């Protein structure tokens, strides 16, 4: 027989049977039960049901469940070690991803390291050089030299070694110039080998303003004491100008348009700056080592966690 009483009344009657109502609730419910046969019948039925449940025999444990040392020790304290290994593996993997992403995107790649690469420094050096060259040389004399130099000395260039100092006059510079063949030949055969001695920065290529695209190549040493304003660009067929030509300030010289007549084809216009520098190679090596270490650490801790879990659950 189905009866329809509210859920609230049902809970009240159930709690009443278990003596879970306070005195006021109990008195109010008893009054309602006396006046409401449906509530009374529900109370009787639930009471019988409750007594039936109590009548079920209590089951005795069929055996002793005490743990033997073997059973108790079969499960090592995994909750302490396992999460630590998992966390370490996850963190290492995350760091590896970050480092790889940074390496790939070039965020972590080292910037060109020579002081000449800094535009402000280059400009400052150029300003130091400019007055000497322009005051000691007549503009009228310099222009013809600049125009004639490529034709008169088509295979010569101004190369300064690491010990070279800023030129104080055309004669001194000319005396210090070594023959062209040394660096020029090396440049044509092995750019990477020359790169540690010369740092070529595309933005700081010094072109002769009047030379029709001819590039002034100046040797720069990695040592911070070098004071030359411009960074050379190594190309196979670009004729070099001697340093008698007054070097114009890099910031004020527009890059001329190269034409096939005055500029040989530049198949390798710019030497890759970063990978060939000594500092960049060191940083890259460090990055690779870091990536490898992170990968190995992530794999090892992950494997250890898996083996530990399998070992723990297999016992």
**What x/- string results for residues 18 through 47 when contact with other proteins is judged by CB under 8 A?**
x-x---------x--xx-----x--xxxxx
Between 16 and 116, CB nearer to other proteins: 16
CB of 304 to other proteins, least distance (A): 20
CA-based torsion, 243, 253, 279, 121: positive or negative:
positive
Contact 226, 123 (CB under 8 A): no
Is 53 or 120 the residue whose CB approaches other proteins more closely? 53
Only segment of 15-23, 142-150, 209-217, 230-238 that touches other proteins (CB under 8 A): 15-23
Q: Which of 205, 206, 210, 207 is closest to 146 using CA atoms? A: 210
**How far, in Å, CA of 286 to CA of 303, rounded?**
26
139 binds other proteins (CB under 8 A): no
Q: Which of 79, 181, 265, 311 binds other proteins (CB under 8 A)?
A: 79
Q: Phi-psi bin for 106: left (phi > 0), alpha (psi -120 to 50), beta?
A: left
Q: For residues 271 and 267, what is the distance between their CA atoms, to the nearest angstrom? A: 11
Which of the ranges 9-17, 131-139, 150-158, 194-202 carries the binding residues for other proteins, by CB under 8 A?
9-17
Q: Which is nearer to other proteins, 50 or 193 (CB)?
A: 50
57 lines the binding site for other proteins (CB under 8 A): yes
Stretch that binds other proteins, among 74-82, 146-154, 183-191, 227-235 (CB under 8 A): 74-82
Dihedral angle at the C-alpha atoms of 236, 238, 241, 243, nearest 10 degrees? -50
Nearer to other proteins, 55 or 225 (CB): 55
Closest CA to 315 of 79, 263, 27, 307: 307
Closer by beta carbon to other proteins, 45 or else 172: 45
Say if strands 215-216 and 206-207 run parallel, antiparallel, or are unpaired.
antiparallel
Q: How far apart are CA 28 and CA 8, in angstroms?
A: 14
Part in contact with other proteins (CB under 8 A); list of ranges 63-71, 124-132, 163-171, 296-304: 63-71
Q: Is residue 311 helix, strand or coil?
A: helix
CB 81 within 8 A of CB 311: no
Residue 28 CB, shortest distance to other proteins, in Å, is: 13
Which class for 222: exposed (0-12), middle (13-18), buried (19 or more C-beta within 10 A)? middle
Which of 25, 28, 48, 163 binds other proteins (CB under 8 A)? It is 48
Q: Which of 202, 214, 218, 203 is nearest to 259 (CA)?
A: 214
Contact between 58 and other proteins per CB under 8 A: yes
Cβ of residue 21: shortest distance to other proteins, in angstroms? 11
For other proteins, the binding residues (CB under 8 A) are 1-2, 7, 10-11, 13-15, 18, 20, 30, 33-34, 40, 43-67, 69, 71-72, 75, 77-79
């Amino acid at each position: 027989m189905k009866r329809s009483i509210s859920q609230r009344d049902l809970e009240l009657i159930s709690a009443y049977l278990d003596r879970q109502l306070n005195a006021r609730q109990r008195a109010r419910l008893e009054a309602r039960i006396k006046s409401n046969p449906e509530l009374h019948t529900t109370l009787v039925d639930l009471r019988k049901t409750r007594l039936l449940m109590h009548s079920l025999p209590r089951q005795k444990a069929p055996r002793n469940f005490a743990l033997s040392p073997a059973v108790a020790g079969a499960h090592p304290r995994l909750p302490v070690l396992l999460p630590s290994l998992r966390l370490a593996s996850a963190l290492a993997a995350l760091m590896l991803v970050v480092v790889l992403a940074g390496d790939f995107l070039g965020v972590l790649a080292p910037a060109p390291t020579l002081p000449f690469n800094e535009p402000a420094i280059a400009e400052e050096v150029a300003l130091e050089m400019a007055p000497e060259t322009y005051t000691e040389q007549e503009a009228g004399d310099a222009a013809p030299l600049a125009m004639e130099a490529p034709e008169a000395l088509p295979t010569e260039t101004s190369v300064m070694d690491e010990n070279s100092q800023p030129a104080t006059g055309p004669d001194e510079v000319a005396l210090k110039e070594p023959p062209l063949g040394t660096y020029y030949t090396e440049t044509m055969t092995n750019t990477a080998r020359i790169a540690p001695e010369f740092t070529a920065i595309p933005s700081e290529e010094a072109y002769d303003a009047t030379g029709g695209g001819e590039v002034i190549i100046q040797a720069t040493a990695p040592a911070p004491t070098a004071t030359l304003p411009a960074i050379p660009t190594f190309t196979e067929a670009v004729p070099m100008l001697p340093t008698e030509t007054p070097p114009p300030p890099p910031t004020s010289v527009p890059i001329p348009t190269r034409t096939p007549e005055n500029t040989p084809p530049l198949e390798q216009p710019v030497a890759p700056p970063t990978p060939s520098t000594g500092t960049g190679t060191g940083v890259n090596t460090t990055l690779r080592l870091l990536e490898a270490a992170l990968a190995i650490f992530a794999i090892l801790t992950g494997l250890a966690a898996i083996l530990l879990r399998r070992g723990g659950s297999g016992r």
